[in-house]
C-alpha cells in the first residue's frame, strides 16, 4: 500500500483510502506509545498480532449482534473497514480497578468493582485526553444525550460479550477502551481496534501480579516479555471458534 497516500496516520495504525469511498484500509503498525506518546518503542510483530486479535473479536461481536466497522482481513497487518466519522470520545469500561482509576480514586489495584464502570474521555492528544462528564460532552457538542446513552449501552453489551469470551480463554478482562463512529447512513458502529494495546488482560493461571499482565502494561511498566504476552493472547483468542 506504500504507493497510496494515507488519509491519516495515528500512533498504532495508518488509514488508507480504497477505490470505494465507503471502505478504508487500516494498517496495524508495530509502533508502541504510552503516557500520551511520551514513551515510544516497538513491539515486534504487534501489528500483525493486534490485527488478528481485533479481527477475531470484531467477528465475535458481530455474531453477537454488535454492529462493527470490520469487513475482512486481506493480509496479516491489514483490515478492511467501513468508513466512519469517529466520535472523539474514548469510552472506557472497567470491571476491576487499575491504571488511572486507582490513581484518581485511591482504590487499590485489583479491586473488583460492584458494577461495570463506564468512563468517557475526550480524544484529544493536545489536551491529554481529559475525562468528560455527560454535561461536558453536551457542552462541546460532541454527542447528544441519546447518543451518550447509546454509547453507554453498547459499551456495556460489549463488556458482557468480551468478559465471557476472555473467561473462556482463562483471561480476566480488567478494563478496555472503545471508539465508535457513524457510517454514511448515520448508523453507530464500533470502530478502531480491540487488542492488548487497548485492553487490560490478566492471565488467570499466573501466580504473581507481574506475571499475570498480558497487555500493554508490560510495555508501559517495562515488565519484559511484551511480545510473548501479546502472542499468548493471540493464541488463546484465535483458538476460540466464533
Ligand atoms: N486506553 C487506551 N488508550 C488510551 C487510554 C486508555 O486504549 O488512550 C485503555 C488502557 O489500555 C486500559 C483502559 O483504556 O485498558 C483504561 O485506561 P486508564 O484510564 O486506566 O489509563 P492508563 O492507566 O492506561 O493511562
Where residue 156 sits, what CATH number does that domain have?
3.30.470.20
Report the candidate in 122, 42, 29, 28 with the shortest Cα–Cα distance to residue 70: 28
Dihedral through CA 103, CA 124, CA 139, CA 151, nearest 10?
-80
- Predicted local confidence at residue 2, as pLDDT: 58
Shared domain for 138 and 106, answered yes or no, is: yes
Atom of ligand 1 nearest to the CA of 119: 19
Q: Cα of 210 to ligand 1 centre, how many Å?
A: 18
Q: pLDDT tens digit string along 152-173?
A: 999 999 999 999 999 999 999 9
Shared domain for 92 and 135, answered yes or no, is: yes
- For 208-219, what is the mean pLDDT? 97
- Predicted local confidence at residue 144, as pLDDT: 98
- For 36-60, what is the mean pLDDT? 97
Considering the domain boundaries, does residue 1 fall inside one? no
Shared domain for 103 and 199, answered yes or no, is: yes
Shared domain for 161 and 207, answered yes or no, is: yes
Q: Cα of 199 to ligand 1 centre, how many Å?
A: 7
Domain housing 114: 85-225
Considering the domain boundaries, does residue 184 fall inside one? yes
Atom of ligand 1 nearest to the CA of 215: 11
Residue of minimum CA distance from atom 13 in ligand 1:
176
Q: pLDDT tens digit string along 103-122?
A: 999 999 999 999 999 999 99
Does the pLDDT at position 45 exceed 60?
yes
**Number of folded domains that form the chain:** 2
Considering the domain boundaries, does residue 164 fall inside one? yes
93 in Cβ contact with 155 (< 8 Å): yes
Considering the domain boundaries, does residue 240 fall inside one? no
Shared domain for 127 and 194, answered yes or no, is: yes
- In this structure, what CATH number is given to the domain that contains residue 28? 3.30.200.20
C-alpha atoms less than 13 angstroms from C-alpha of 90 in its C-beta half-sphere: 18
- Predicted local confidence at residue 39, as pLDDT: 98
HEC string of the chain? CCCCCCCEECCCEEEEECCCCCEEEEEECCEEEECCCCEEEECCCHHHHHHHHHHHHHHHHHHCCCCECEEEEEECCEEEEECCEECCEEEEEEEECCHHHHHHHCCCCCCEEEEEEEEEEECCHHHCCCEECHHHHHHCCCCCHHHHHHHHHHHHHHHHHHHHHHHCCCEEEEEEEEEEEECCCCCEEEECCCCCCCEEEEECCCCCCCCCECCCHHHHCCCCCHHHHHHHHHHHHHCCCC
125 in Cβ contact with 36 (< 8 Å): yes
Pocket of ligand 1 (CB under 6 A): 90, 92, 98-101, 129, 175-177, 198-200, 216
Shared domain for 31 and 135, answered yes or no, is: no
- Predicted local confidence at residue 219, as pLDDT: 98
Shared domain for 63 and 178, answered yes or no, is: no
Say what the pTM is: 0.97
Considering the domain boundaries, does residue 236 fall inside one? no
Does the pLDDT at position 123 exceed 60?
yes
Considering the domain boundaries, does residue 119 fall inside one? yes
Atom of ligand 1 nearest to the CA of 199: 15
Q: pLDDT tens digit string along 26-35?
A: 999 999 999 9
Amino acid at each position: 500500500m506504500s504507493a497510496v497516500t494515507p488519509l491519516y496516520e495515528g500512533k498504532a495504525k495508518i488509514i488508507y483510502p480504497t477505490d470505494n469511498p465507503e471502505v478504508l484500509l487500516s494498517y496495524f503498525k508495530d509502533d508502541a506509545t504510552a503516557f500520551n506518546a511520551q514513551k515510544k518503542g516497538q513491539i515486534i510483530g504487534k501489528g500483525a498480532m493486534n490485527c488478528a486479535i481485533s479481527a477475531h473479536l470484531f467477528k465475535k461481536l458481530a455474531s453477537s449482534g454488535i454492529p462493527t466497522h470490520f469487513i475482512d482481513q486481506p493480509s496479516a497487518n491489514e483490515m478492511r473497514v467501513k468508513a466512519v466519522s469517529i466520535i472523539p470520545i474514548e469510552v472506557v469500561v472497567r470491571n476491576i480497578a487499575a491504571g488511572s482509576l486507582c490513581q484518581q480514586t485511591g482504590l487499590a489495584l485489583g479491586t473488583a468493582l460492584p458494577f461495570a464502570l463506564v468512563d468517557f474521555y475526550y480524544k484529544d492528544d493536545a489536551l491529554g485526553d481529559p475525562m468528560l462528564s455527560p454535561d461536558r460532552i453536551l457542552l462541546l457538542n460532541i454527542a447528544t444525550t441519546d447518543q451518550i446513552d447509546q454509547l453507554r449501552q453498547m459499551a456495556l453489551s460489549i463488556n458482557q460479550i468480551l468478559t465471557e469470551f476472555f473467561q473462556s480463554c482463562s483471561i480476566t478482562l480488567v478494563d478496555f477502551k472503545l471508539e465508535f463512529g457513524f457510517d454514511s447512513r448515520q448508523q453507530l458502529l464500533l470502530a478502531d481496534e480491540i487488542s492488548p494495546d487497548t485492553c487490560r488482560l490478566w492471565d488467570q493461571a499466573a501466580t504473581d501480579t507481574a506475571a499475570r499482565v498480558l497487555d500493554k502494561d508490560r510495555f508501559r511498566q517495562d515488565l519484559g516479555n511484551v511480545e510473548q504476552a501479546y502472542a499468548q493472547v493471540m493464541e488463546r483468542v484465535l483458538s476460540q471458534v466464533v
